[in-house]
Structure formats: structure tokens, C-alpha cells
Amino acid sequence: MMLVRFKFFPSFIFISLFIFSATSCQKEAALKLPSVTTSVISTKTTISAVCGGTVTSNGGPPVAKRGVCWSTNKTPIYTNSKTIDGKGDGTFTSTITGLKPNTTYYVRAYAINTGGTAYGNVVSFNTSTGAQWTNYTTADGLINNFVNVITIDLQGNKWFATNGGASSFDGTNWTSYGTPAYPLASNYIISMAIDLQNNKWFGTNSGITKFDGTNWTTIKSTASGLQNDNILAVYVDLQNNKWFGTNGGGVSKFDGINWTTYTASNNGLANSFVCSIAVDLQGFRWFGTHSGVSKFDGTSWTTYLDSYGYTKAIAIDLQGNRWFGTNGVGMISKYDGSSWTNYTKPNSTTSGGITAIAVDAQGNKWFGTEAGGVLEFDGTNWTSYNTTNSGIISDKVNAIAIDVQGNKWFGTDKGVSKLKDQ
């Protein structure tokens, strides 16, 4: 009797441990959440919209419920208004109804399994203007949320130069570059431009780095004609010359072989602190400095002094007008080749200086500000986009770029916002 009990007891322990282990594994698997992304708003009215999402992974346990949730708050959750659009993996379409006109809504996809509820990225839209906002941060693949420059390469990829390296985005996938994995001169990238061969030129606080898609080349003042390693602006002209505005060393031009430097002491440059560069339709080079704007025709210099602060941004519109934005009070100036027009932007006491300027295909001007979001100017009317009345992620806008589809991309201190007009 004792022998039978003795033989059975270890078997019972083994079976019990097996059941406990299997149960524990099942509980561990059940804790894994699904992965889900939110689709863009495909159609919209003043009271409804069509969105959706894709369950890219169920996380282990099957997805029992999926859909989208929305709210006027920036982080909608399942307990807010929602759709239920089936179950399982894959793509689904959601119809959002019961909306109020002229209201900004935030929507994101969700997926539920036994582990809990997972959410996709947040997409915002307005039921009146048709504007759709999408925000991107480090959670989506951006290397650093403080974005200083946005450029678009010959394939349409967006490049984001940040305080912590660079990221490229093809519309689906993110690729990031930073030290020590990639030999940038510094992760603190202040400026960037793309040349006619699609090479990327990064201006950092410690020199210049060129990336041809495979190879990295760093240029420093100690081994080149560059006068200063703190690169505030980079510009590539139609002759493929690279122009580098520096923090105290003037402007250096590089034609691929030779360097030429222009400073306030040796040339007609207004100031050797150069933070913006542009070339107009006549081929004149314009340099925004800490003491005004200088124009260079290749031989002679003309300087226009101002008392509003340094010129942080320059853009040329479709008619060839030059637009300048300054820091401080944030004055906006237009020069048509013979006369100047100054604009005092709306809410000038709160929005700070002008940090970026871009011109869209319709000729509208877009201005990034230090603390007031974005301003749009159609030549008559001003429209303001900020965190109170739109889906932009931050009111501090450092960079603006416009792609061939007309989407506006804004680089801020908290990530990137894309504005799509339907």
C-alpha cells in the first residue's frame, strides 16, 4: 500500500507541474497585446467620416474585437464613441457617424484580445475645413522629437533632421541615422539640404556630413576651407554649389573641389552669423543674418538692415517675391525687387518669431512660429493653426516642407505633424 502511494506521488507532482507550467504559459501569451495601425481619413462630410485600420499582429491570442474610437480629446479610448468592425487580423473600414460640423476630432484604431486593448496612431480631422492631421513621434519611428529641418528627396522620401540624429520616412517605413551606428559629425543636426545627385548634406554643431546613400563623408574646418563648424544653414543652388551659413564664420561655398568664404569683415555680408539662405528666380543669393539681409549677385553685395531681430527664414514665391521672417517680434517682410512690405502677423504678442517659411502650389505662404503654431496667408486673409484649434502636435514650429501631393509637413519640438487637405 505504501509502495503504490510512493510510486504515484511523483507522477502526480509531475502532472501538476506540467499543468501549472502550461497554464502559466497560456497566461503569459494572453498578456501580449495586438499591433494595430490607423488608416487615413478617406472621405468626410460635416457629420461623418470614413476611416479604419489594420491589425498587423494579434499578439498571440486571437483578436476578438476591432474598430476605431474617436473623441474631441486628443487621446480617444475605447470607452469613447467607437465602431465595432469585426474581429481577427487584417484591414478593416470604419464609418464614423454622429459628428458635429466645424469640430476637430481625434480618431485611432483599436484591437482587443484576451491581453487587453491596443491602439494605433492618432489621426485628426475637422468636419468643416476638410483638414486631416497626422502626428509622428519617436513612438512611430522618429529618432528624436525635436525636429529642426524637413527636406524631401528625389524619391519623395521625407527627411527629418533633429537634435538626436536624422530619420527618413517613405510613407510606411522609418529609417534612422545617428551616432555611433552612423558616422555623423554630430547627432545635433541644425540644417540640411539635398543636392542634384540626391546626396544628403547635414549641417551640425560640429561640422558637415555628406551621405550618398552608402558612404558617409565628414567635413570639418580643420581640414577644409570651411570657416566654422557650427552650420546654421545649408543650401544647394542650380549649379549644384553647396552654400553653408555658419555661426560666426560667414558663408562658405563649396563647388565640389574648391571653397570660397564670404564674411562681414572681408566682403559685403551684413553679419558673419548666417542662419538662412535662398536663391531667387534671377539667381541672386540671399543670406539672412543677425543684422539684416544681404543679396549677392556673384560680384557685388547689397545689404538691407533691419531692427526686428535676425532673419531666420527666407522663401521665394511663384512671382519671384522674396519673403523674410525674423525672430523677436516676428516681423514678416516681402521684397518684390523694388519695394518692401512689412506684415504684422496675427497674435504677434504670443506667437513669437518666425522660424520657417514655405510656399504651396496655390501661392499660399506658410509661416512657422516660435510659440503660435502655423500661419497661412493667401495674400489677403490669415489663418492660424495651433494646438487649440487644430491637430498640430505643438505650437513651436521649427520647419515646414510641402510635398508633391500638397501635404504640409511641420517639424516641431514634440514631433512631426502632417496636414492633408481633402
Q: What CATH number corresponds to the domain at position 76?
A: 2.60.40.10
- Which amino acid appears at position 174 of this protein? W
- Report the number of distinct structural domains present in the chain: 2
Q: Grid coordinates in use for 143? A: 529618432
Domain membership of residue 67 (yes or no) is yes
Q: Grid coordinates in use for 314? A: 527666407
Give the model confidence (pLDDT) of 110-128 as tens digits. 999 999 999 999 998 888 7
pLDDT for 329 equals 62
* Same domain for 154 and 119: no
- The terminus-to-terminus CA distance of the chain in angstroms comes to 83
Domain membership of residue 28 (yes or no) is no
Is 284 a residue whose pLDDT tops 60?
yes
Could you tell me which of 159, 155, 227, 225 has the C-alpha nearest to residue 193? 159
Q: How far is CA 348 from the centre of its chain?
A: 24
Domain membership of residue 6 (yes or no) is no
* Same domain for 95 and 231: no
- Characterize the bridge pairing of strands 49-57 and 292-296: unpaired
The proportion of the chain whose per-residue pLDDT surpasses 70, expressed as a percent, equals 89
Give the pLDDT mean for 150-168: 98
Domain membership of residue 137 (yes or no) is no
CA–CA separation, 91 and 101 (whole Å): 28
Strand partners, 402: 408
Is 166 a residue whose pLDDT tops 60?
yes
pLDDT for 308 equals 66
278 contacts 312 by C-beta, under 8 angstroms:
no
Give the pLDDT mean for 275-296: 96
10 sits in which H/E element: helix 2-30
Give the model confidence (pLDDT) of 361-405 as tens digits. 999 999 999 999 999 998 888 888 888 888 899 999 999 999 999
* Same domain for 124 and 155: no
Is 64 a residue whose pLDDT tops 80?
yes
CA–CA separation, 175 and 309 (whole Å): 37
pLDDT for 7 equals 42
More reliable by pLDDT, 352 or 221: 221
- Which amino acid appears at position 204 of this protein? T
CA–CA separation, 71 and 106 (whole Å): 5
pLDDT band at 271 (very low <50, low <70, confident <90, very high): very high
CA–CA separation, 302 and 410 (whole Å): 32
311 contacts 325 by C-beta, under 8 angstroms:
yes
Domain membership of residue 348 (yes or no) is yes
* Same domain for 168 and 120: no
Is 1 a residue whose pLDDT tops 70?
no
* Same domain for 155 and 50: no
| CB count in 10 Å sphere of residue 35 | 15
Give the pLDDT mean for 331-345: 88
DSSP code of residue 39: P
pLDDT for 11 equals 44
* Same domain for 56 and 107: yes
- Characterize the bridge pairing of strands 165-169 and 158-162: antiparallel
Is 328 a residue whose pLDDT tops 90?
no
pLDDT for 44 equals 79
* Same domain for 317 and 180: yes
* Same domain for 244 and 98: no
Exposure on the CB side of residue 116, measured as CA atoms within 13 A = 8
Strands of the sheet with 274-279, listed across from one edge = 274-279, 285-289, 292-296, 301-304
Domain membership of residue 1 (yes or no) is no
* Same domain for 238 and 95: no
pLDDT for 132 equals 84
* Same domain for 236 and 123: no
Domain membership of residue 118 (yes or no) is yes
Is 206 a residue whose pLDDT tops 50?
yes
Q: What share of the chain is helix, strand, coil (3-state, %, to 5)?
A: 10, 45, 45
pLDDT for 350 equals 56
Average pLDDT score over the chain: 89
179 contacts 207 by C-beta, under 8 angstroms:
no
pLDDT for 290 equals 93
* Same domain for 297 and 218: yes
End position of a domain, from candidates 97, 128, 159: 128
pLDDT band at 18 (very low <50, low <70, confident <90, very high): very low
pLDDT for 309 equals 72
Domain membership of residue 382 (yes or no) is yes
* Least confident window among 65-79, 217-231, 293-307: 293-307
CA–CA separation, 44 and 127 (whole Å): 7
Residues of the domain holding 177: 147-421
Strand partners, 201: 193, 210
